Amino acid sequence: MGIAFLDMDLKQPENGYRFSVDAFLLAAFAKQFNPNHFCDMGAGCGVVSWQLHQLLPSATGVAVEIQPVFKEFGRTNLAGTGISFLCRDIRDLPRQDRKFDLLISNPPYFKVGHGKLSKNPVKAQARHRLNGSVSDWCSSMNKHLKEDGGVCIIYPSRYAAELVTDMLKVGFNLRVLLQITSFEGGEPKLDCLYFSAEPGEVRTQYLNLYREHRKRSTAAKKFLSGTLQEGIFL
């Protein structure tokens, strides 16, 4: 089924988890770090990888998704981009000839036993950590990451502190935090976080998505379109 989103026509399952603006925010955030070769962990139907290709056509990558229902959708969406789609457990990814300089993920965030588990298995795996947490994935993927590589994750703000703690346990330090609000002065709802193995100062920035009801702020338009100054978070 074709889904028009931001004037884009992408394929996703008729019934299941629906991609949203989160995917486009993550792609725009990842673009700021100018990856050459990336891995999209828990890629779903490949929307984040697809959008990152639109923003940074020179980048190559691998989108990895464990759920077979997304296989054909992901391969269709990523056809012609130079980004491959693998249907397998990210924790068992075979060694790559080229190491990644960036891992990206819009992962499930509910612990098993927390939150309401959807009866739809596709939705359940998208929201609950039934196939491990993103820190588990990063621990397994560390051997595929360049020494100076990093990790970009989008996560609900209310769970971000727990994520930072979990990532530190597997050797990744928070370096950049982008807090996203609906309107100026509002509470952050989403965080984009950049982690690296090297510790250092944490740079914190903010993005208001809207200037008024249903109207994007100028900064959000630039950010999502990839026209915001590159390297602003580095």
Task: Report residue 139's pLDDT band, with 50, 70 and 90 as the boundaries.
Answer: confident
**Digit-coded pLDDT (tens) for 38-79:** 999 999 999 999 999 999 999 999 999 988 988 999 999 999
**Digit-coded pLDDT (tens) for 160-179:** 999 999 999 999 999 999 99
The CA distance from 86 to 75, in Å, is 9
The CA distance from 167 to 181, in Å, is 24
Q: Does domain 24-225 have CATH number 2.40.110.10?
A: no
- Contact at 8 Å (CB) between 192 and 202? no
Token pair 């995917």 in the structure block, residue: 23
Cα 31 to the center of its chain, rounded Å: 11
So where are the chain's domains? 24-225
- pLDDT at position 27: 97
- Contact at 8 Å (CB) between 43 and 66? no
Judge residue 113's burial from the number of C-beta atoms within 10 Å of its C-beta, 0-12 exposed, 13-18 middle, 19 or more buried. Answer: exposed
**Digit-coded pLDDT (tens) for 116-127:** 545 555 554 555
Judge residue 203's burial from the number of C-beta atoms within 10 Å of its C-beta, 0-12 exposed, 13-18 middle, 19 or more buried. Answer: middle
Average pLDDT for 218-223: 92
- pLDDT at position 143: 87
pLDDT for residue 181 is more than 80: yes
Q: What is the pTM of this model?
A: 0.86
Q: Which residue has the higher pLDDT, 224 or 7?
A: 224
Helix, strand or coil for residue 106?
coil
Question: For the chain, what percent of residues have pLDDT higher than 70?
Answer: 80
